[in-house]
A and B are shown apart, each in its own frame.
Chain A
Amino acid sequence: MVENNNTKISAKDVDVFYSEKQALNKISMDIKEKEVTALIGPSGCGKSTFLRCINRMNDLIEICKVTGSIKVDNEEIISSSTDVVSLRSKIGMVFQKPNPFPKSIFDNVAYGPSIHGLADTKSDLENIVITSLKKAGLYNEVKDRLNEPGTSLSGGQQQRLCIARAIAVNPEIILMDEPCSALDPIATAIIEELIDELRLNYTIIIVTHSMQQAARVSQKTCFFHLGELIESGETNKIFTNPDNTKTQDYITGRFG
């Protein structure tokens, strides 16, 4: 494995409040470029909350307040002057439940490139759609029915469609919030394989409840508990020899 030391995202003292309730407490971590980082922890510990800080999706929740600093490519993103739209086009996101638009498969993938003006001609657009679908490993299954609605696909296919949709806008980072939780083991395996391939080009952060999945796909792992980052580091180390007893307890299934 080629090690690299370029920090892509660096969070410092991130606090998140929902109204009065503190969901994250002083989170600081660095995430390296072109690696898969897994976020694990018991339910409600703030994994999704942290993930949604990175592409500012928390803005949608009115009561949510984020303080601290997150830098992406050394640029501060927790500030009112951040251009959220271009930030989000740089950071793709895949949700827990597949949420394709109720439009055709083609339009689902083409939507991002067209609003960002990535394609000047129709054939450019088609190329982008096809390469994205190919990268998401979905093209062979849907190539004959690009005009059918995206919602007619199976759950696993829908999730890959959402991945294709995310990579069509050429992001550098992909956030995945429990992308496999609604899928069966076979579809899960396909997505995991896909993540492994995508790692070559993208920085990936994945939230998962499956220890095995975290162990299989990630290089780095961060363990959250009650809104705090308890431990982070090489996946191998966390899973074989964690420093913290809480981490130990969690991964061996003693709580959570």
Chain B
Amino acid sequence: MNSTLTQERIIALRKKRSAQDLRFKYYGFIAMCLALAVLVFLLYSIFSRGFSAFQKTTILLEINYDQEVLKLTPNSTDQEIEKGKFFKVKKNALNNVFENLSKSDAKLIKKLFSTNIDKEIKNYYIDNPSVLNTTQKLWVTAHSNVDQMLKGNSRRDVPEDRRKLNDIQLSFIDQLVEEDRIQKEFNNFFFTRADSRHPEIAGIAGSFMGSLLTLFVVFILSFPIAIGASVYLEEFAPKNKLTELIEVNISNLAAVPSIVFGLLGLGVLLNVFGFPRSTPLVGGTVLALMTLPTIIIACRASLKAVPPSIKEGALAIGATKSQAVFHHVVPLALPGTLTGTIIGLAQALGETAPLIMIGMVAFIPNIPTGITEPSASLPVQIFLWVESAERGFQEKSAAAIMIILLFLFMMNALAVYLRNRFEKKW
């Protein structure tokens, strides 16, 4: 009797325990799924927002390149063309978008178009001078408000005073849609232009170039310095307090918040050494100091992995220490170092805060061509666009994030490839 009772109790307890066990396992599983779900959700929320930025809205405009209005002749020089009265041509075209427009309606119509269309009309003429005195149908860029409305990013069912476009403008747009005079096409501006105050003509070319130049500086500085430092610490350094200090220093530097590096850049590089502000040179230098620990750690690991027998072989035939190291050990450690460097560069590519400190947040409407020119960088561009009140910038920032993620992905894939391809097991 008693024994069956304990038996039952034991069985019950065992059941309870195994249920507990199972539950614990599920907690872990759920936690893991939660983390992955957030990842998916994050990527989804970015991609779903960003895709529309790769298209822009254009409107068909009939433009009369009238000699009289333009004040040009077929023989006009480039300079004269530059000063041609294209805005008048544009004005005429805008007035004739619909028949019999009142003055106030024409004003409203004008706001449906990008401010950039003067240039588009002019450039078309420069490319095709033969259109003088003809009427051309041209697809010109629509204003961001129109673009956003048609993409469904801004809503039309809110009260008129909370919309960027009023009811009349909406009816114009509807009419244009009906007449097939409005279309979406590939947004080349996004890839070929720098930042702009107008979302419809803002692009990432400038900030992308800035990021590229910055990464170039990071690489040029951090790669050789990291190799030098690692070689010294692995092969030359005596085991003493100073070496230990350097090592502790490097491992702690890796954990210093990036914004502090920004303060270093501002307080020392800009204020003391007088580096040029807002440039890839100073941005790259700050990021190089920041990524140095990462690369040094990778480089030291790969130097350690090279079997000492190789170095001994070189030393035994009378190579000096630095010859043995630089001719034999370093080349073998290079793939590993390069992998670490790429990972470090990927970190640097996504870094924003230190660049803000050293003034790379300025509004730069042109594409930089050198490391001493003011420029933006991709993540800072994203920051600026996220912070911007204009709705049209939101999809732009999501799209720029897509580009940056693409690059990070490619860099990491390259690092993995290098590691698998060249990693030697001794």
A and B touch in the complex (CB under 8 A): yes
Does B323 sit within 8 A of A, measured CB to CB?
Answer: yes
- Interface residues of chain A, those whose CB is within 8 Å of chain B, are 55, 57, 60, 62, 85-90, 92-93, 95, 97, 99-102, 111-112, 115-116, 162, 165-166, 168-169
Q: What 13 additional pairs, Cβ within 8 angstroms, besides A92-B316, A111-B319, A112-B319?
A: A57-B315, A60-B312, A62-B239, A87-B318, A88-B315, A89-B317, A89-B318, A90-B318, A95-B312, A99-B312, A101-B313, A112-B317, A162-B313
B279-314 interface bits toward A, Cβ cutoff 8 Å, 1 = contact, 0 = none = 000000000000000000000000000011110111
Q: Please, which residue of chain B has its CB at the minimum distance from the CB of A167? A: B317
Tell me if B316 and A101 are in contact (CB < 8 A).
Answer: no
Q: Please, which residue of chain B has its CB at the minimum distance from the CB of A169? A: B317
Please, which residues of chain A bring their CB within 8 A of the CB of B317? 88-89, 92-93, 111-112, 165-166, 168-169
Q: Which of B318, B319, B328 has the most CB of A within 10 A?
A: B318
Please, which residues of chain B bring their CB within 8 A of the CB of A169? 317-318
Smallest CB separation, B180 vs chain A (Å): 67
Tell me if B318 and A95 are in contact (CB < 8 A).
Answer: no
Please, which residues of chain B bring their CB within 8 A of the CB of A85? 318-320
Q: Please, which residue of chain A has its CB at the minimum distance from the CB of B323? A: A115
Take A62-B239, A111-B327 as given contacts and tell me if A99 and B310 are in contact as well, using a CB distance cutoff of 8 Å.
Answer: yes
Please, which residues of chain B bring their CB within 8 A of the CB of A102? 310, 332, 424
B313-355 interface bits toward A, Cβ cutoff 8 Å, 1 = contact, 0 = none = 1111111100100011000100000000000000000000000
Take A57-B312, A102-B310 as given contacts and tell me if A116 and B318 are in contact as well, using a CB distance cutoff of 8 Å.
Answer: yes
Smallest CB separation, A21 vs chain B (Å): 18
Q: Please, which residue of chain B has its CB at the minimum distance from the CB of A166? A: B317
Please, which residues of chain B bring their CB within 8 A of the CB of A55? 316
6 CB-based A-B contacts, threshold 8 Å: A55-B316, A88-B317, A89-B317, A99-B309, A101-B310, A168-B317
Out of A60, A90, A97, A100, name the residue touching B315 (CB < 8 Å): A60
Bound CA–CA A116/B310 (angstroms): 18
Please, which residues of chain A bring their CB within 8 A of the CB of B327? 111, 115
Smallest CB separation, B306 vs chain A (Å): 10
B250-268 interface bits toward A, Cβ cutoff 8 Å, 1 = contact, 0 = none = 0000000000000000000
Please, which residues of chain A bring their CB within 8 A of the CB of B318? 85-90, 112, 115-116, 169
Q: Please, which residue of chain B has its CB at the minimum distance from the CB of A112? A: B317
Bound CA–CA A166/B328 (angstroms): 16
Please, which residues of chain B bring their CB within 8 A of the CB of A57? 312, 315-316
Tell me if B328 and A101 are in contact (CB < 8 A).
Answer: yes
Q: Please, which residue of chain A has its CB at the minimum distance from the CB of B239? A: A62
Please, which residues of chain B bring their CB within 8 A of the CB of A92? 316-317
Tell me if B316 and A97 are in contact (CB < 8 A).
Answer: no
Bound CA–CA A101/B316 (angstroms): 12
Please, which residues of chain B bring their CB within 8 A of the CB of A97? 309
Bound CA–CA A162/B316 (angstroms): 11
Q: Please, which residue of chain B has its CB at the minimum distance from the CB of A175? A: B316
Q: Which of B308, B317, B320 has the most CB of A within 10 A?
A: B317
Tell me if A95 and B319 are in contact (CB < 8 A).
Answer: no
Bound CA–CA A111/B317 (angstroms): 9
Bound CA–CA A166/B317 (angstroms): 6
Tell me if B316 and A93 are in contact (CB < 8 A).
Answer: yes
Bound CA–CA A89/B323 (angstroms): 14
Smallest CB separation, B333 vs chain A (Å): 12
Bound CA–CA A92/B328 (angstroms): 18
Please, which residues of chain A bring their CB within 8 A of the CB of B313? 95, 99-101, 162, 165
Bound CA–CA A95/B328 (angstroms): 17
Tell me if A166 and B316 are in contact (CB < 8 A).
Answer: yes
Smallest CB separation, B421 vs chain A (Å): 15
Please, which residues of chain B bring their CB within 8 A of the CB of A95? 309, 312-313, 316
Bound CA–CA A117/B146 (angstroms): 75
Smallest CB separation, A145 vs chain B (Å): 21
Please, which residues of chain A bring their CB within 8 A of the CB of B323? 115
Bound CA–CA A168/B314 (angstroms): 13
Please, which residues of chain A bring their CB within 8 A of the CB of B332? 102
Smallest CB separation, A94 vs chain B (Å): 8
Smallest CB separation, B238 vs chain A (Å): 8
Smallest CB separation, B371 vs chain A (Å): 37
Please, which residues of chain B bring their CB within 8 A of the CB of A89? 317-318
Q: Please, which residue of chain B has its CB at the minimum distance from the CB of A100? A: B313
Please, which residues of chain B bring their CB within 8 A of the CB of A116? 318
Smallest CB separation, B159 vs chain A (Å): 74
Bound CA–CA A90/B318 (angstroms): 8
Please, which residues of chain B bring their CB within 8 A of the CB of A101? 310, 313-314, 328
Smallest CB separation, B166 vs chain A (Å): 74
Q: Please, which residue of chain B has its CB at the minimum distance from the CB of A102? A: B332
Bound CA–CA A209/B307 (angstroms): 25
Smallest CB separation, A147 vs chain B (Å): 17
Bound CA–CA A149/B420 (angstroms): 20
Smallest CB separation, B303 vs chain A (Å): 15
Please, which residues of chain B bring their CB within 8 A of the CB of A62? 239
Which 8 residue pairs spanning A and B have beta carbons closest together?
Answer: A89-B318, A93-B316, A99-B309, A88-B318, A112-B317, A99-B313, A169-B317, A85-B318
Please, which residues of chain A bring their CB within 8 A of the CB of B310? 99, 101-102
Please, which residues of chain A bring their CB within 8 A of the CB of B328? 101
B102-119 interface bits toward A, Cβ cutoff 8 Å, 1 = contact, 0 = none = 000000000000000000
Bound CA–CA A162/B424 (angstroms): 21
Smallest CB separation, A18 vs chain B (Å): 15
